[in-house]
Amino acid sequence: MRLRDKIAVITGAGNGIGEASSLLFAKEGAKVLAVDRDEKSVQDTVRQIRDVGGTAEVCLADISKDGDCRSMIAHAERAFGGLHILFNNAGIMHSEDSDAIHTSEDIFDLTLRINVKSILLGCKYGIPAMKKSGGGSIINTASFVARLGAATPQIAYTASKGAVLAMTRELAVVHAQEGIRVNALSPGPLRTDLLMDFLNTEEKRRRRLVHVPMGRFGEASEMAYGALYLASDESSYTTGTDFLVDGGITAAYVTPE
């Protein structure tokens, strides 16, 4: 098993990439602290893990709050004895996020608080725990929109994911000699509730898909396998990267409709 004896904290574990990654990491031998605000969904993730003999616990947290992130890491140390993998995955794509003219200050602030500040707070408490455990891997969920302008305006989300990439690079450089690797996972357009709720018309979905060479939305399970590589010792010489799992969208020049 690729994560045998590893201890992982995964945020946004109740659905999408977080749920798929929690199930896969546990299957590969990790002890998983599944973190989410939604008690019902994260309880279901943990139940699925335990049903097949895996090890997992629920942690309810608002990862935009300092105290909740501190408690999240303490929970992992208390329950499992340390920390080797921190997957800062939770994020939002608000339905009222639009262009610079129409996006409110409140929506912009909320998006950056959840998508960016949460990574700072996760690392603030996760890195000391990881150092005590002998090092490990931090994975931050970014997005292809950090590199490309989004065809459907989402200025707050795009800005937040650009910040995730910048933070990832700096964290990687600062902590490289401490045995801590830091990488970003950048998904392309996915068939998850997060994106499907945002692209809430067939026209919006077609407008996004026209740019994807593979011609389809990605699946959360495909992102989980990318995260697994970054979490495992197979990526031991990989840090500071933007790992694109995007169906080719960032490689393509496609004329929009």
Using only C-alpha atoms, the chain has a radius of gyration, in whole angstroms, of 17
Residues paired with 218 in a beta bridge: 190
* 237 in active site: no
Q: What is the rounded CA–CA span in Å between residue 31 and residue 9?
A: 9
DSSP classification of residue 139: E
Q: Are 71 and 119 in contact (CB under 8 A)?
A: no
CA atoms within 13 A on the CB side of 222: 16
Q: Catalytic: which of 157, 229, 237, 253?
A: 157
| Enzyme catalytic residues | 157
